[in-house]
Every structure is written in C-alpha cells, then in structure tokens.
Amino acid sequence: MDKDDAQSLKRLRLAGAVEGTTLLLLVFGAVPLKYLAGWPTGTSVMGPIHGVTFLFYVITLIEVASASLLSRQETLRTFAACLVPFGPFLNDGLLRRKLAAATGAA
C-alpha cells in the first residue's frame, strides 16, 4: 500500500468518527428533545448535518473499497456499522488494524 492508501484509510476513520458522533447526537439528543420536550429545532439542525456526514462516510467508503483496501466482507461490515448507533466506533478497530498494516506500524 502506498501513502495515498493510508490517507484514504485515515479519511475513512475520521468520517466514521464524525458520522458516528452526529448519529448519536441525533438519536440520543435531538430526537428525544423533539418528542419529549416539544423542541423540533434540534432535529431540523442535526438531521441535515448528519445527512452530510453520512454521505461523506459513504463516499469515502466507496473510495476505499474501489482501491481494494477492504475485502467485500469488510466493506459490508463498515457500511452496516454506520447504520446503528455506536457502530462506527465499534468498527474502528478494523480500520485501525488496516491502517497499521498499510503503514507498516506494529
């Protein structure tokens, strides 16, 4: 793997952290505030922010998968992770190991 491959994996890890954080803020912050406190502004703000981060995550995943940096199973796992709260954080270990292998780190 070359330097660009390592950069792509780093970008995917960052996208996962941001996407995972916005999903948690939406699901555990904005949605309860909307339905329990009658404050819909949170979902009006967090919904589009999460949408943009989700698209960034998926586009980055497609870039990494098309460079054959992840197997088909790893790609599906990484995509499925973004659909559930805490998923990107749980999947980060896989990406961290792939990055270590790409950079030759132990």
pLDDT, one tens digit per residue, over 44-102 is: 999 999 999 999 999 999 999 999 999 999 999 999 999 999 999 999 999 999 999 98
Looking at residue 43, its pLDDT comes to 97
Confidence of residue 106 (pLDDT cuts 50, 70, 90): low
Looking at residue 2, its pLDDT comes to 80
Rounded Cα–Cα distance for residues 70 and 84 (Å): 20
Looking at residue 77, its pLDDT comes to 98
Query: Please, what is the angle between helix 72-81 and helix 41-66, to 10°?
Result: 170
User: Are 16 and 94 contacting, i.e. CB atoms less than 8 angstroms apart?
Assistant: no
Prediction pTM value: 0.92
User: CA 81: distance to chain centroid?
Assistant: 8
* Mean pLDDT of the 12-41 span: 98
* Mean pLDDT of the 1-18 span: 93
